[in-house]
Amino acid sequence: MNQFLFLESLLKLSFGLPLVLIPMSTLKLLGLPRPPTGFWPRLTGGLLLGLAAATFIELRLPGSKGLGLYGVVAINLTVAGTLVALLILNSAPPTRRGRLALWLAVGLLLTLSLAEISVA
């Protein structure tokens, strides 16, 4: 279980930090649509950093009643479902690279969730 929480923290940190620091460049690199300002991408990055911190705290503090594995699974499945809905409804990025990045994220989130469910 600790390995999964570590992977969760690492994954969310690796996407959250670039979104907070360089949101427009991160979106361009991933082929995702860029809004007029970096407000929403930065807010999303901040949310990801908060989730990374919560899972890290759960990992490092014995007896912690933090986010936990079940909460992480719920978040992963919700995000994966939202991304699939956006991709199916054609609200996804117009570029092939952007759609590929989102399908890759869906695959990673679902794979991680299934692995976490199997040990929960």
Would you mind telling me the total number of residues written for the chain in this entry? Answer: 120
Give per-residue pLDDT as tens, 42-56: 888 988 987 888 888
Tokens of residue 63, six digits:
């007896």
Whether residue 106 has pLDDT greater than 80: yes
pTM over 0.85: no
Whether residue 92 has pLDDT greater than 80: no
Whether residue 93 has pLDDT greater than 80: no
**Under 8 Å between Cβ of 12 and 51:** yes
DSSP 3-state percent helix, strand, coil across the chain (nearest 5): 80, 0, 20
d(CA 74, CA 71): 5
**Under 8 Å between Cβ of 77 and 112:** no
Euclidean distance between the first and final Cα of the chain, in Å?
Answer: 8
Q: 38: pLDDT confidence band, cut at 50, 70 and 90?
A: confident
